[in-house]
A and B are shown apart, each in its own frame.
Chain A
Amino acid sequence: MQGLQVQLRSANPIRLEAEFDCGAGELVALVGPSGSGKTSMLRAIAGLWTPADVQGHIRVAGQAWLDTAAGVQLSPQQRRAGLVFQHYALFPHMTALANVALAAGPGWSGADVQALLARLGLAPLSHRRPSQLSGGQQQRVALARALVRVMPTPSWASTPTHLPGVLLLDEPFSAVDAPTRQALYRELAALRQKVSVPMLLVTHDLAEARRLADRVVIVDAGQTLQTGEPSRVFASPRNARVAELVGIQNHFEGRFFKDHAKWGRLRWTDAAASDTGLDLTVFDKNKINDGTPVTWVLNGEQVDVMADGEVPNDARPGHTRLRCQLLEVLSLGEISLCTLRPEALPSQTITLNLTSRLLRRLQVGSGDWVQLLIAPGALHIMPVRTK
């Protein structure tokens, strides 16, 4: 069995309910707000933190690092976890070379370590101490130190084999400036071409997760809420909390009805019990019962904007036309952040990122009316979580 499998459950000192995996060569991002427990999960994998009441297992490349049922618990030294700490935790009294050589196994010679540093562009800096390196350079030394830990021998570059370790990155890009971060993103991408090892990235930056990860794991209050490809999780969050965590702007309440033959009807109301509302046409996937209170998300990328009074020249099945007033237009260069108020439900507002070009073409600005053409696929409906 390749890759990393994690299943952990504990109640003290913090609640932990983690279940996810990461294939060899895959990059999975643990995403969540600070204090959500994502770093604790990383530390649990490295063996630095094991709650006394923990139940479950951590397996890497078929080897159990933790298995409470079998009574297995390896020490951090026995686990091959290459951990890049948030502030790198380089040894300040050692050179870059010594920092990396210290973590290298017996299969590594000094020349091998030097070659690895050269590959990461650190050759001229290998005899400097961490205090003489920039943030980005320190980060690369920390990455090299983590890499030698997951590679028993330096022959990895010529024969890309599956390695018996896991690479753990704890917010590694948070302490460097934006240009350095871009360079490090590229290096990480290049590294992934060469090293077939599960890579786990902890971040609170959604854009970063979306950009780097093959899959994301949404973490909140010690719990892994949803796992999937970034585009899927961001487009169809499993529940309202996930939607909130992934920063979806257009997040509303309503009620789902099945009183039409072909389509579902989403009744958008300003409060759960309110009579005022408007109807939107949605797909009926037969997953939600008639009359169920729901929370729902509008994906702005699947919404078209037309001039007020314009009639669409092709009949698109299931599309809802919604007359809205532009309350506010914030121009951010090419993109304008627009706040719109539906005529039929003036208590609610929709936020859309529209191109400034489109607004110029429609000749509309703040206070003007437009029509939204909402595709049924733009609406993602979730049952309200009942406690």
Chain B
Amino acid sequence: MDWSALHVSLTLAALTTLALLPVGLALARWLAVTAWAGRPVVEALLLLPLLLPPTVIGFYFLVAFGQGSAVGAWLAASGIRLVFTLEGLLLVSVLVNLPFMVQPIQRAFAAVPHSLREAAWVSGLSTWQTFWRIELPLAWPGLLAGMALTVAHTLGEFGVVLMVGGNIEGETRTLSVSLYDKVQGMDLQSAHVMALALVGVSLLALTLVLAFDRVGQRGRALQER
């Protein structure tokens, strides 16, 4: 087992989830209630990382932030390097995980009946109080599902990691990249262990997602009774 790779993977997954949660929550809540005509465009942009090959995302990231680009040069002058660093990996990881975080939360908020918001308003609650006391407690299964999916997807990400992060031990070499190395080096024993670990974590995350989804559905069924 490559413990350093496991550490990088878990760090990346935790930081991605933490960074994405407020962004995803705000985006998802807005998408769930907005009547704005441009909403489908935003939704399509958010879903794009699901369809694009990771290499395309990695390529544009390198183009945007590499030494050759204006942004990259400006960042380098400020002492910030994003290419082949954990920070850069985190940035691109947040981007590609947007649909995994936003989708379940958006569905959870959309499932909160609008009459409950109105009931809160006529009961004297401000829109902000309504969000914290009514909407968020009802949408929490969606939040947990989004977080679980983000963790699982980050652990399983490969192509983008390789292109953006390279393969630097202790910095950007994740479990999935390390597994690739072991297979290349014919170390099948280590590969087995790491593959099994990834399968286990992903299975656990998916089980949690489905369990939360069921909790959410039960809650909605009760509201409609």
Residues of A within 8 A of B (CB): 46-48, 75-77, 79, 81-83, 85, 87, 89-93, 102-103, 105, 130-131, 145, 149
A102 to B222, CA, bound (A): 20
B115 touches A77 (CB 8 A): no
A131 to B113, CA, bound (A): 15
Kindly identify which residue among A81, A89, A145 contacts B115, using a CB–CB cutoff of 8 Å. Answer: A89
Closest 6 CB pairs of A and B: A103-B123, A131-B222, A89-B119, A89-B115, A76-B121, A92-B223
Question: Could you say which interface size class chain B belongs to?
Answer: 20 to 34
B123 touches A145 (CB 8 A): yes
- 202-225 of chain B: CB within 8 A of chain A: 219, 222-223, 225
A93 to B223, CA, bound (A): 9
- Nearest-neighbour CB distance to chain A for B215, whole angstroms, equals 11
B122 touches A81 (CB 8 A): yes
A46 touches B219 (CB 8 A): no
- 14-69 of chain B: CB within 8 A of chain A: none
A-B contact pairs, 14 of them (CB 8 A): A46-B118, A76-B118, A76-B121, A81-B122, A82-B122, A83-B118, A89-B118, A91-B116, A91-B120, A92-B138, A92-B222, A102-B123, A102-B133, A149-B122
Known: A77-B126, A103-B124, A105-B124. A91 touches B222 (CB 8 A): no
Residues of A within 8 A of B1 (CB): none
A77 to B133, CA, bound (A): 15
The closest CB in chain B to the CB of A175 belongs to B225
Known: A92-B138, A93-B137. A77 touches B113 (CB 8 A): no
B119 touches A83 (CB 8 A): yes
A93 to B120, CA, bound (A): 13
A83 touches B122 (CB 8 A): yes
- Nearest-neighbour CB distance to chain B for A169, whole angstroms, equals 13
Residues of B within 8 A of A85 (CB): 115, 118-119
For the complex, is B134 an interface residue (Cβ under 8 Å from A)?
yes
The closest CB in chain B to the CB of A90 belongs to B119
Residues of A within 8 A of B120 (CB): 91, 102
For the complex, is B91 an interface residue (Cβ under 8 Å from A)?
no
- Nearest-neighbour CB distance to chain A for B124, whole angstroms, equals 5
- Nearest-neighbour CB distance to chain B for A97, whole angstroms, equals 14
Residues of B within 8 A of A75 (CB): 121
Residues of B within 8 A of A (CB): 113, 115-116, 118-126, 133-134, 137-138, 219, 222-223, 225
- Nearest-neighbour CB distance to chain B for A96, whole angstroms, equals 14
B134 touches A91 (CB 8 A): yes
Residues of A within 8 A of B118 (CB): 46, 48, 76, 83, 85, 89
Residues of A within 8 A of B225 (CB): 131
Kindly identify which residue among B116, B124, B219, B223 contacts A149, using a CB–CB cutoff of 8 Å. Answer: B124
A93 to B220, CA, bound (A): 11
A87 touches B115 (CB 8 A): yes
Further 6 A-B residue pairs, CB within 8 A, beyond A79-B122, A102-B133: A47-B122, A48-B122, A76-B118, A102-B120, A102-B125, A149-B122
A93 to B138, CA, bound (A): 7
The closest CB in chain B to the CB of A78 belongs to B124
Residues of B within 8 A of A130 (CB): 222-223
Residues of A within 8 A of B133 (CB): 102
A102 to B134, CA, bound (A): 11
The closest CB in chain A to the CB of B126 belongs to A77
The closest CB in chain A to the CB of B113 belongs to A89
Residues of A within 8 A of B123 (CB): 102-103, 145, 149
The closest CB in chain B to the CB of A93 belongs to B137
Residues of A within 8 A of B121 (CB): 47-48, 75-77
Residues of B within 8 A of A81 (CB): 122
A82 to B123, CA, bound (A): 7
Residues of B within 8 A of A82 (CB): 122
Residues of A within 8 A of B137 (CB): 93
- Nearest-neighbour CB distance to chain B for A187, whole angstroms, equals 20
- Nearest-neighbour CB distance to chain A for B216, whole angstroms, equals 11
- Nearest-neighbour CB distance to chain B for A99, whole angstroms, equals 9
The closest CB in chain A to the CB of B224 belongs to A87
A82 to B121, CA, bound (A): 11
Residues of B within 8 A of A103 (CB): 123-124
A61 to B115, CA, bound (A): 27
The closest CB in chain A to the CB of B222 belongs to A131
- Nearest-neighbour CB distance to chain B for A200, whole angstroms, equals 14
Residues of B within 8 A of A47 (CB): 121-122
- Nearest-neighbour CB distance to chain B for A6, whole angstroms, equals 17
A149 to B124, CA, bound (A): 8
- Nearest-neighbour CB distance to chain A for B203, whole angstroms, equals 30
A131 to B133, CA, bound (A): 18
Residues of B within 8 A of A105 (CB): 124
The closest CB in chain A to the CB of B140 belongs to A93
Residues of A within 8 A of B126 (CB): 77
